[in-house]
Each structure stands twice: as C-alpha cells, then as structure tokens.
Amino acid sequence: MRTNAPEMIPRLKALLPFGARIVSGEKKVDFLCSFLAAKPSTRRGLKRFHLFYADATEAVKTLDLDAALEQIEVELRKLVADHSRREIFVHAGVVEWHGRAIVIAGKSFTGKSSLTAAFVRAGARYFSDEFALIDAAGRVRPYPKPLSLRLDGEMAKAVDTPVEDLGGTQGKRAVEVGCILFTLYRKGSRWRPRRLTPGQTVLALLKNTIPARRRPKDALARLRSVALAAEALQGTRGEASEMVRQFLTQLDWEVRP
C-alpha cells in the first residue's frame, strides 16, 4: 500500500483488514494498492479527487476524504476476500450457538448485521457480521471485526459497535455449520421458513460467495461440505429479535461443550 500523503499513513494503517501485519523490505508484492490524496487545487473551479487504485483498477474516486477512507476499507476487505487461499469468503453474518455456527447469508442491506446482533443479544457467540470464512474442512472461522450497525434506519451510516457493547463475546475457534439462514426483512412478516435442499443451498450460497466466479471449483467443493452438513432455511422475517426468539425456541440442537 502506498500513498502520496505520508500524513495519511496512520489512518490507512487503521483500515487494514483483520489479520494484516506490516512488513518492510519486500521488493516483490502480490498486489499494489495506491491512495492518492487530493492536493489543494491551485485553479478556481478545478476539482481534485481522492483516488484509490487496487492494482491498476480505479476503485475509489471521491471529493470527500472520509468517504474515500470508508470505501478504501471496503475495497481492502474485498481484495483479501477475493484472493484468500486458506478460506472461502461468503457474505454472511455468523454466530455460534452451542458449538455450531448459524450462518446468516446475504449481501449488504439485507439486515444480516441486525440479525447477527439480535442473536448475540440472545446469548450467541459472535463470529462476524460481514463474512463467513469457510475452511477446507467446511467449518467456519471467526472474522473478528466490530459489528456495523445502522442505528437510525436502513439507509443511515453504519456505526462500528464492539460485540462487548451488546453484552456478547467474540468466537475464537472454527466450528461446524449447523444452520444457514437466507432471509430478508419485511415489515409485519412472520418467520415461516421453507427448508432448502442441499443443491438449492449451494446455489444460494454461491450467489454470496466472493471468489465463486474466479474459483468455482474450490468454492463448490467447500459449499458442498457445508450444505450436506447443515440445515438451510429460507423465508422473510419481521423484527430481528422476534425472529431470533422464534428460531431458537424451535431449535433442537444438543448442547455441546
């Protein structure tokens, strides 16, 4: 990662994804990210943009520095998610309940963070509100990041919320997937899900899997393991807390140590 603005380095460091570490003296890199901070304009009417390149691709272009940094954080996460060899990244919230993972699959603005938070408030252990990291054994690993909660409605800016603020704890070890939920919020809706077949489950997960286009073979192999081991439910839901209460009441998993 390089920049034309050394004063921005501490802020850029803070955007690096979970697991990142600073190295020095590397002459060969896999990916080169460049942040070009806009310099003050010397001509009236001339707009200078903050730019971010992921390799040769212009990924961010904006006049607002805060917006640029927010988008860079998202781009860096996407870069890691797309190129991770050890895990397959699936857009999903994840919690652990009695030794098994509940995966809430869905892209942004599908309500997965609020549903993840509701599970945490109900006593589940937090894994992630953004990605399910599926390892080679088909288990899901934690992706520790604060929850991004939109406190003032769906389109409001997301606020980073440590899991401890919700009274929860962060999961630390990989667990098997017990259940996968595909759900969208609909006001007044009641949780009456239908069960998906393993094939339908793989299809639904593929749509949320970051490297599915570039690495379909690997993605299919891991999603297959997950789909054969877990129950998958699809349906609309009403308020998150009510859905979680209903879901956990109906769940009959054995309590595992």
Partner 1 sequence: MQSAVFVHSGEFVLRNVGSEAVLVPIRNRVGDLDAVYVMSPVAVRIWSLIDGVNDVEAIAARIGDEFDVEPATAAQDVNELLSALEGAELIRRA
Q: Which residues bind partner 1 (CB under 8 A)?
A: 197-203, 206-207, 212-214, 216-217, 219-221, 224, 227-228
Looking at the Cβ atoms of 120 and 226, the one nearer to partner 1 is 226
CB of 220 to partner 1, least distance (A): 4
Looking at the Cβ atoms of 186 and 207, the one nearer to partner 1 is 207
Looking at the Cβ atoms of 13 and 195, the one nearer to partner 1 is 195
β-strand pairing of 125-128 with 131-134: unpaired
CB of 171 to partner 1, least distance (A): 27
Looking at the Cβ atoms of 166 and 221, the one nearer to partner 1 is 221
E strand or H helix at 243: helix 240-250
CB of 206 to partner 1, least distance (A): 6
CB of 208 to partner 1, least distance (A): 10
Burial class (CB in 10 A: 0-12, 13-18, 19+), 86: exposed
Q: Which two tokens stand for residue 180?
A: 């996968």
- Between CA 137 and CA 144, with CA 140 as vertex, the angle to 5 degrees is 140
CA-wise closest residue to 182 among 245, 230, 140: 230
How many Cα atoms occupy the beta-carbon half-sphere of 188 within 13 Å?
Answer: 0
